[in-house]
Structure 1
């Protein structure tokens, strides 16, 4: 209330002071949210979900709580009990949170708050920053360096080019002023601080330099109500030199046995046909070609997304230079989410980004999580941003909740022992409060399904046995190694469009369905655009057995920092 100190109260007599300034209030409220949600999940193991929850074992060894009694207690009685637990005991079970949303404190942010709360995101109030942020050198502050290049033919390594619609040469200030820039100008960006979360989002007038920018139109355009059907994906390539990405992502989108996918591939699409494709209903619209502030380059001219009255695409991937403004226009026209670039991007790096995004989206990761992984593990992923709703998903995973293995082989171990960490990424169907099981020896029971969910040490043989039939991304020694492929067959569900999305209450304590092993013997590894391997091709596909033999035979996998490539030597 105005002029009163922020506080939490309940009928049981609780009065908890939240702080004296917005920063302190948001931190305290976030701590309470994590505490209450986690402990309530533990309490619910007394009811319909009698699972062996890891967090319950830990908290029972550190706090005296009667979970059987709490299950039948009122909400205010539960809250009082949860707040009585020491901070040290709670800290022992609090995971990395799924999302932090930074909110600019103004009236325009109010309409997005219900969607932020629905996601159970932590909220941070944006505070003024004395030092203004400008785009990084690899983004739109590289004009001086780029002026020495002529697009398509004179890049440093001779085999790369930029994906800008302006192929005449460097842009002049007059061209940028006329709208060809296609991205926010200097002073229109906001830095996001490092946080302990799987992803970050921003609500405000400026553009974050990473993460996602929430746009109200994205949440009003579509209801993710699902029905049995086919995942419809449209891939458009308007430049012959970019066919590599067209071929690669078309195969990726159709690689799962358990998903019915209709991939519509188009090449050299005219402005009229592109407008029609954007208007049609698609789960994914993936554009590969030249873009700038004027629009999409087509054989007969340029199509400006601002002239598109309506789009039926759920997620839009605009893999070209300076596609930010075009992405905003498509979200305003009806898209749920758009992945866009914040500067000029080279073709080789863009191919890597496009392939990695396609793999993650097609294996159940949300647009926001996919982009965070791409940002961390690809060469130029930091030059891309999500606009709209980062929680959009295209397919379901076999286990319900997307997950990932981080593998750390021990090259000095003759038995091929490796450390394996298991990470979970909640989605709308299995959101914060759901639980997950890794099925790896040494990681016992169910875990609160957010972030790190235990680690173990395994031999390569045991890991190979447990990996078979499961569809999960692999990170090996902090390098992206692609997605394992399973062979289970089942139907998936597809979105149907309507005008507004309801804001349901969050479900707590949901259990992820168990997986059963199925037959599979392959894992595909894509180490980016450059791989140094004797007698091997540019893209280095490894069978699962060969991948594990690489580890067993003491191959050393290392990352070349300057190019984000992988060298495999022995």
Structure 2
């Protein structure tokens, strides 16, 4: 079973561990309980595990919305403070690390504090608690020839993962993971894979450059993809052309249709007050649209000029560049499953030494090293060789060490999304180098032996001990248990053992040069050694650690953050501390680095390798949240919250701010602005969870922000 439910040892309640998602949380009761298994059909929605306990209250340590349905499943109400008379109820609590449902017969009340959500029953009763993992796995692998026209048949099957064709498929839990695609001599489709008949067709020329950019559309529309000359989307009685500017128009279709689905779904099972529905200036009959078949609904969406909805569209989260190569077909289901905007660049712009750009890892035309990054002080040094050298590994052979001198660096075209991934040959500047093996490990995440989150900080240089103090930043969480270990001056054998261990996050501080990672007795070159890697995610905060990090991903890690250049020690220490706090707060690798780059220009010397969506824990509120604060005089603030999809709380999730000045729900991702917020309300809001804050353009955190004291 993927979910374990056990009595708490030192409190009244239950400990819930989801071994697939590697999440844990506690549910509190008013008395000690002994959970008894009961049938999953005791709940209105499907669950993976269910138990019954006798209690008069249920409490979780996070602020959530409680949704109440009657015994037949009809929605009665939802909110964070209300009373219900005696009756038979199905209750859902969201967000929680798993889907959490209660079933009982009793009157009850819902209340929240700044840290908890509580349900109090009128009297002690039998309560069934059901839990469903948010993990999603593909139904199988479609084998196909990899020429573009044959591949169209496989791409047409991506939508088989959709659990509905209604607008509710804009919720991440109702989309499902697309089936995998693998090369084969003919099309072979496993029995469980059968796409719904959505009535949508996507017509594109049979080339990789035109097929790859429509994979997210094929998935989300459950569309048939067929060859044709003029790129277009068709339904019964309507056609929407995708030229001129094919990739831009394809991205617009994805963003517009998804956004309007999120508005239309408020007519269905979840009739919430949605900010975006109030703000979007289109005159559409949402109730009628909700009831239409997918193809008819999509046709009406696309009849609305994109310019009408564009002002209200959030910044999309991810753009993925997939090089038009048959070797990249296996990545398509993962790209589509993330609802990524997809481009397929025919050529890759090489990054050359003459471009500069503030990245100091290129060699000049005569083979001399590029300049060391600017120092921040007279005693500054770079994290390259242990000996005082201006640049690490000037005599490094091309086939060993970190990034070889003749590495194929590419400079992708800029994106207007938060995150950027690159699939194909080349080392991308400022983008996540995504790899197939890392994405497969996302699916293969099996049962864990422990329910605690393990972090290992390794510092292999005396001069860098300051960053070793990041251990104090991990574990700054209520209700999440961390095992944190700090080790110094490891030998090669000890470093091998550390890499082999089942650690959720490795934070390495030290030197890297052409010989590999520095240890006390020699260098450990991960590109040469036959290593057994158990570390799930990592930060290799050392000069030019790209190739060493890439080797970790190839040998077992899901993903990590690495450097492409020599990095000066002081800014590297700053970045290491920022990443530590963001990962501890629940950010994934890509978004954590995105936030760090806002604070430090040197963040552009780092990229993510592997699965950029990797997290080590969940944030308290589910989504990743960044606050922007501006003061407007005494006791008056403007607050903007940027929310990012994260882990199971993917694109299309609902979120809201616990502020009196904003009682609407919002779509994730979103940028939520509240004006004229009092100091007292801001202070209460900041006390809810560990939160990164940008104030006057500088990054700080809620536990060290003194602006309220100065102005309140």
TM range (shorter): 0.7 to 0.9
Residue of 168, 175, 179 corresponding to 2:395: 175
Q: 1:434 to 1:358 in 2, by over 3 A?
A: same
- Residue equivalent to 1:538: none
CA–CA distance in structure 2, aligned partners of residues 32 and 459 of structure 1: 40
The answer as to 2:425 corresponding to 1:205 is: yes
Where does residue 584 of structure 2 map in the other structure? 362
Question: Structure 1 residues 167 and 271 mapped into 2: Cα distance closer, same or farther (>3 Å)?
Answer: same
Q: Which runs of 5+ in 2 are unaligned?
A: 1-204, 207-226, 364-368
Match of 1:7 in 2: 231
Q: Equivalents in 1 of 2:660, 2:591: separation in Å? A: 27
The worse-fitting range, judged by mean Cα deviation, of 306-315 and 34-43 is 306-315
Residue by residue over 1:470-527, the C-alpha shift from the partner in whole angstroms, topping out at 9 and shown as x without a partner, is 3321111121113x3xxxxxxxxxxxxxxxxxxxxxxxxxxxxxxxxxxxxxx12xxx
Q: 1:112 aligns with which of 305, 328, 331?
A: 331
Give per-residue Cα distances to partners, 1:243-300, cap 9 Å, x unaligned: 11112x1111121122110012111111111111111111101111111232110011
Match of 1:559 in 2: none
Q: Secondary structure of the residue that 2:397 maps to in structure 1?
A: helix
Gaps of 5+ in 1: 150-154, 485-522, 525-541, 553-570
d(CA) in 2 for partners of 1:7, 1:289: 51
**In structure 2, C-alpha distance between the alignment counterparts of 1:6 and 1:236, rounded to whole Å:** 56
Q: Is the 8 A contact 1:58 1:92 kept in 2?
A: no
The answer to whether the aligner puts 1:235 opposite 2:452 as a matched pair is: no
Residue matched to 1:547: 707
Alignment of 1:82-481 (within 5 A): 82-128=301-347, 132-134=351-353, 136-141=357-362, 143=369, 145-146=371-372, 157-165=377-385, 167=387, 169-170=389-390, 175-179=395-399, 182-183=402-403, 185=405, 188-223=408-443, 224=445, 229-247=451-469, 249-306=470-527, 307-410=529-632, 413=633, 415-481=634-700
Aligned with residue 55 of structure 1, among 255, 276, 281:
276
Paired with 1:328 and 1:131, the residues of 2 have a C-alpha distance of 20
Distance in 2, matches of 1:136 and 1:456, equals 38
Aligned residue pair count: 478
2:396 and 2:404 in contact (8 A); partners too: no
Query: Does residue 80 in structure 1 map to residue 299 in structure 2?
Result: yes
* Distance (Å, rounded) in 2 between the aligned partners of 1:174 and 1:204: 28
C-alpha separation in 1, matches of 2:574 and 2:618: 23
Bigger Cα displacement from structure 2, 110-119 vs 460-469: 460-469
Equivalent-residue separation in structure 2 for 1:138 and 1:131 (angstroms): 14
Distance 1:117 1:172, change over 3 A: closer
Question: Which structure is higher in strand share?
Answer: 2
Tell me the TM-score normalised to structure 2 length: 0.63
Alpha-carbon distance in structure 1 between the residues aligned to 2:710 and 2:447:
42
Q: Superposed, which structure 2 residues align to 1:482-497 within 5 Å?
A: 482=701, 484=702
- Classify the secondary structure of the residue corresponding to 2:504: strand
- Indicate whether 1:18 and 2:242 are aligned: yes
> Could you tell me how far apart the structure 2 residues matched to 1:36 and 1:405 are?
28
TM-score by length of 1: 0.78
Q: Distance in 2 between matches of 1:244 and 1:336?
A: 27
Offset at 1:180?
Answer: 6.0
* Distance in 1 between residues matched to 2:420 and 2:394, nearest whole Å: 35
Residues 64 and 168 from structure 1, CA distance in 2 versus in 1: closer, same or farther, beyond 3 angstroms?
closer
User: Cα gap change, 1:158/1:132 in structure 2, threshold over 3 Å: closer, same or farther?
Assistant: closer
In structure 2, the residue corresponding to 1:176 is in which secondary structure? coil
* Shift in Å, 1:183: 1.7
Cα pair distance change 1:38/1:226, threshold 3 Å: farther
Moved more, 332-341 or 463-472: 463-472
Write the deviation string for residues 428-477 of structure 1: whole angstroms up to 9, x where unpaired.
Answer: 31111112112234334011111412342323233112222233211111
- Larger deviation, residues 326-335 vs 213-222: 213-222
The aligned residue for residue 560 of structure 1 is none
Contact 2:453 2:482 in 1 (8 A): yes
Query: By how many angstroms is 1:372 displaced?
Result: 1.0
**For the structure 1 residues 455 and 202, does the alpha-carbon distance in structure 2 shift closer, same or farther, using more than 3 Å as the test?**
farther
Question: What SS does structure 2 have at the residue aligned with 1:16?
Answer: strand
Checking the alignment, whether the CA contact within 8 Å between 1:133 and 1:187 is kept in structure 2 is no
Indicate how the Cα distance of structure 1 residues 141 and 235 shifts in structure 2: closer, same or farther if over 3 A, else same.
same
Q: What is the rounded CA distance, in whole Å, between the counterparts of 2:394 and 2:624 in structure 1?
A: 46
- 1:42 lines up with 2:266 in the alignment: no
Task: Describe the SS at the equivalent of 1:162.
Answer: coil
Q: Is the alpha carbon distance of 1:364 and 1:130 closer, same or farther for their aligned partners in structure 2, counting shifts above 3 Å?
A: closer
Larger Rg: 2
Shift in alpha-carbon separation, 1:130–1:371, aligned structure 2, 3 A: closer
Is the deviation greater in 189-198 or in 365-374? 189-198
Indicate the residue corresponding to 2:3 in structure 1: none
Q: Is the 8 A contact 1:7 1:15 kept in 2?
A: no
| Aligned-partner Cα distance in 2 for 1:105–1:407 | 43
How many angstroms does 1:215 deviate by? 1.2
Quote how far apart the aligned CAs of 1:10 are.
4.5
Q: Structure 2: how far apart are the matches of 1:184 and 1:376?
A: 29
Per-residue CA deviation, residues 165-193 of structure 1 (Å, 9 max, x unaligned), is 35252569872335566225467222233
